[in-house]
Amino acid sequence: MKLPKKILLLFILLFSVALLLSNKSFEAGLKKLLPNLNISPNTSIPGLTENVRILNEESHIVDIVDKVSPSVVTVGISTTRSTGRMFELDPFNGFRLRPGQEQEVKQDIGSGFIISADGLIVTNKHVVSEAGATYRVITNDDKEFEVKKIYRDPSNDLAILKIEASGLVPVELGDSSKLKVGQFALAIGTALGEFRHTVTTGVISGLGRGITAGSPFESFAEKLDNVIQTDAAINPGNSGGPLVNSAGQVIGVNTAVASDGQNIGFALPINLVKEALDTFNQTGQFARPYLGIRYKTITKDLALLNDVPEGAYVVEVVTGSPAEKANLQEGDIITKIDSTRIAGEDGEVAAIIGKKKVGDTVTVTYWRDSKEATVTVKLQEVSQ
């Protein structure tokens, strides 16, 4: 039996509306009404299928935001600043100089996310770096809390804030080691220190990036390795907020934006945070090992060009560091740490040392004066 075109269009319209309410139940009902209309899971109705797909995607993003937003906070700062001296007109005595006054200034400067119901919050170290300032946290429901303690990670741009609260909603932490370029990413934070709970979406644009990050609010710069690049818009003020995957899990800590590019943002991988949190939960502080060198990577091409081995060229040795105590010197080329050769994907000394613990002993193989030698180094904790 062939249905008139108008009736068929009417049924298709009803189908599109009901699909938003209950895809499966309506499909079964439609098959009973139209037994001759062949509808299968792979059936594609021009225009309708695309609209349904878009609606499903939008609904999913809204669900993610609803899940994560209660755990995202704004970080604010309170400082005392002088208004400066001013001349004012006195009707009887002419102009006189009025002394400056101290004034409390409050400003939203960053973002963060809750990791425990009793008030532990992750943010960036550079967000809470100003000495003598008082910091506060504003939750999604506009409740304000004074930050009681700040724990700063000396070797990464991370900090943990402690507020006196209970019953908070912590985020779910994902696994950044499983990230793939092109997968969905969503960022939430206080954009420009003004627009709280701003949501942006995009994809993972790159992995394993190395950047120098800085703060727009004060003089700050730090070299960060192995960060996530995303085109989900990250603006000043988003620092410390979560980068989220399609399951609503936090996969990174939004940290920096490229000042000379558009839609190029960076986030610290969440696995780095999880490692730091494990140490923090065990010791009540961040304890990270360090070797104590500043270096540049010598690639295979550069090594062939200069007739030297691949490795990490030591640019500077930190005074009092394990490297100095082991007599490593500027100009040395570190070629191997324990059994890991410093070449190719394993060319980052910082990544290798970061997997060690304070007090571990490592064997460093280095190249000096056209000869290879080894030395044993005991790793120390980075001083705050």
Same domain for 294 and 279? no
Distance in angstroms (rounded) separating the CA atoms of residues 357 and 345:
22
Check pLDDT > 70 for residue 100. Answer: no
Which of 132, 163, 194 finishes a domain? 163
CATH number of domain containing 320 = 2.30.42.10
Which of 283, 308, 342 finishes a domain? 283
Assigned domain for 130 exists = yes
Same domain for 247 and 220? yes
Q: How far is residue 21 CA from its own chain's centroid?
A: 36
State how many domains the chain has. 4
- Single pTM value for the model: 0.59
Same domain for 158 and 192? no
Same domain for 279 and 298? no
Residues known to be catalytic: 126, 157, 239
Assigned domain for 170 exists = no
Assigned domain for 171 exists = no
Mean pLDDT of the chain: 78
**pLDDT at residue 61 in the model:** 86
Same domain for 192 and 157? no
Q: Name the residue range of residue 27's domain.
A: 5-69
Same domain for 220 and 204? yes
The predicted-structure confidence for 230-286, as pLDDT tens digits, reads as follows: 888 888 888 899 999 998 999 999 987 766 656 788 888 998 888 777 767 766 666
Assigned domain for 168 exists = no
Same domain for 306 and 329? yes
Which of 283, 306, 329 finishes a domain? 283
Nearest to 295 by CA among 272, 269, 323: 323
CATH number of domain containing 105 = 2.40.10.10
Quick one: average pLDDT of 301-321? 89
